[in-house]
Amino acid sequence: MIITQRFFKGLLVVAALAAAQALAQDSPASQVYLPSAIWEWQENVITDPTAQAAFFTFAATHGINRVYIECESAIQNNQPALIGFLEAAAGNGLSTELLFGDARWVLPGSGYPYQGYAVSLVSTYTAQLLSQMTAGKPGAVHFDVEPYSLRLWRTEQNTIALDYISLVTQLEAAARQLGMKLSVDVPYWYSTIPVTQGAATTPMNQLVLNIVDRYVIMDYWDTASRIERQATTDLTYANSVAGKQVVIGVLTTCNQFPADTSFCNTGTHQGTAWMETVLSMIHKAENPNPSFAGFAIEDYAGFSILGP
């Protein structure tokens, strides 16, 4: 029986890789997977023309149509360069979201690095940026705030969860004032976190989805079945709330633990061809969901060196 199972799994892997190769042969581009967003955490693509040109070339040949561009420093210290990047991105067919991230921003307070600082990145600095732009304006502000990485999460989970809800509420209001959407990065397991507000207890994913426009799941695994299973609860709830978008994010960063969370590993479920096959399978399965809004790849640094 063990031999039979291994043989069957081997057939599945061979078939999936063959499908990916067939798709690649039919495509005029070097990569074939469906249009996706990509995280770019390195601000050098904003200020370095060579790095910027390489990024746009990569996006054009790898099915990228949206970039989450980290710009915490540039938006405060070099808005002309950031405007130049955003305009160039639009010229290369990319929509943009301004990306910011720090777990400490979940904590209440008015100065750095607390909630007030995070909100000011939208209400002050993004407002300044937009006032200088006529073309290439970003469509959203995008926050990667992961409160569960703080030690306080272990002992004061409900309080920190409520702090996070408060933060995204403020960010959504600030974004709406500017005519922008709010995207947030979230783990796939927020549905398992009960949050008590007064007499009501609600899963954390529902509280967040009720507020934000785009819910970007860090749905990190390397098989379609596992990724789909991890996204089901969020998609099901989002389908019931008008106008909500759920993006499924996957990982290409190397040396992760467990290794199966990334497409950069040493097993059979690794590399670009396998990822493209997985994304195609997920797209077919999830496309009927009205809230499903495609994929995001974490991140440019990892994907740009991911093997074939």
23 beta partners: none
Helix (H, G, I), strand (E, B) or coil at 178: coil
User: Mapped to the 3 state alphabet, what secondary structure does 75-97 carry?
Assistant: HHHCHHHHHHHHHHHHHCCCEEE
Give the Cα separation of 265 and 253 in Å (integer). Answer: 9
Q: Consecutive sets of 10 residues in the chain, 308 residues long: mean pLDDT of each?
A: 35 38 38 80 98 97 96 98 98 98 98 97 98 98 98 98 98 98 98 97 98 98 97 98 98 96 95 94 95 97 95
Query: Does CATH place domain 32-303 in 3.40.50.2020?
Result: no
Distances (CA, A) of 109 to 28, 176, 180, 228: 52, 22, 24, 38
- Going 292 to 17 to 225 to 258, the CA torsion angle's sign is negative
Please enumerate in sequence order all residues whose Cβ is within 8 A of that of 25, keeping only pairs 6 or more positions apart, or say none.
none
pLDDT value at residue 33: 56
pLDDT value at residue 138: 98
- Going 32 to 36 to 41 to 44, the CA torsion angle's sign is positive
pLDDT value at residue 154: 97
242 sits in the region (left: phi over 0; alpha: psi -120 to 50; else beta) called beta
